[in-house]
Amino acid sequence: MNWNKFKFIDLFAGIGGIRIPFDRLGGTCVFTSEWDKYAQQMYFENFGDKPNGDITQIYEDNIPEHDVLLAGFPCQPFSIMGEGQGFADTRGTLFFDIERIIKAKKPKAFLLENVKQLVGHDGGRTFKVIMERLRAQGYTVYSKVLNALNFGVPQKRERIIIVGFREKIDFTWPKGTHNYPPLANILEEDSMVDPSLFASKKIQQSRIDLCKNIPDYPSIWHQNKSGNISALPYSCALRAGASYSYLLVNGRRRLSAREMLRLQGFPDSFKIVVSYTQLRKQAGNSVTVPLIQAVAENMIEALRTRAPKRHNQEQMILIWEEGRISA
């Protein structure tokens, strides 16, 4: 197969953060699913595709054949901000829709993304179930927690990435740069920011009183659950449901819509066609594009360079080993 051109599907697509790297690598998206109407609107305006709705209502036979499956399945059942109910939350069971599609369509590879808390959820049992069920489909599966801070954006955002291959393929995780650009690279001038995003003088002063060390460089002020404030040269993870004062630029204002997208690595050409409130939610739910780009490049390179084994029909032997098929 020519991996300079391939087909992929984009499940739980959000605003398309996982799609962008695979588009860049020569892929063609043949199917998209996203139920949120505002995310659908953003997706259509930026990619020209209207996502299908609820994946639980879509029969797998109606999904086109594809080479790669992508899915940033809902993280709220496993996240710190959510209640951590996992599979007890109906959103947590959406993994099994991914499983049924993989089982029916048998893509050559897949990439799944979720919050790092998935790994330790329920004492690690939830993650074990996911890995076992993916391997039971005959895939070689790799997983690793990666931090966006190591992939070119000033945002500390740790996510579990799971990649799988239908054949035995040696996959190497990207190492990352282990440095990040200064916040100044993504921040807009205060004069260009909507005045409504600025905190009142009272709130600003209260933050100054709580912040022990005020830096002389651009910073994001993060208030933790105890009320303590840290001024950092990077942003903590964007969150869809965070409070007003969770992240403040230089202790004075909220991040603008464009700044939030920049923190996730979206290009400035990415159109914003929804309200600030909706964009904030979508950015918080999205992936960090450069991190996914690094993983995608290694995935496609591994698929491109793999030397296929040639066998006569008489010599073909299928061997079951730990739930995986090798030839």
Looking only at Cα atoms, what is the longest distance across the chain?
80
Which domains are assigned to the chain? 6-177+285-326 (3.40.50.150), 183-278 (3.90.120)
In sequence order, which residues have a C-beta less than 8 Å from that of residue 27 and are 6 or more positions away?
A: 5, 6, 7, 8, 67, 68
**314 — phi, psi (to 5°)?**
-65, -25
User: 111-141 pLDDT, tens per residue?
Assistant: 999 999 999 888 888 899 999 999 999 999 9
d(CA 138, CA 158): 28
Catalytic residues: 75
d(CA 288, CA 282): 12
d(CA 104, CA 88): 25
If you average pLDDT over every residue of the chain, what do you get? 88
Looking at residue 281, its amino acid is: K
**287 — phi, psi (to 5°)?**
-100, 165
* pLDDT score of 324: 38
Closest by CA to 261, choosing from 111, 42, 70, is 42
Cβ-contact 287, 296 below 8 angstroms: no
* pLDDT score of 320: 33
Q: Which residues of the chain have pLDDT under 50?
A: 76-82, 84-92, 307, 309-327
Handedness of CA 124, 130, 133, 139 (dihedral sign): negative
* pLDDT score of 244: 59
User: 55-111 pLDDT, tens per residue?
Assistant: 999 999 999 999 999 999 875 444 444 454 444 443 447 899 999 999 999 999 999
* pLDDT score of 245: 65
Handedness of CA 306, 102, 130, 39 (dihedral sign): positive
What's the angle, vertex CA 239, arms to CA 237 and CA 244, rounded to 5?
A: 110
0.75 exceeded by the pTM?
yes
* pLDDT score of 243: 66
* pLDDT score of 309: 45
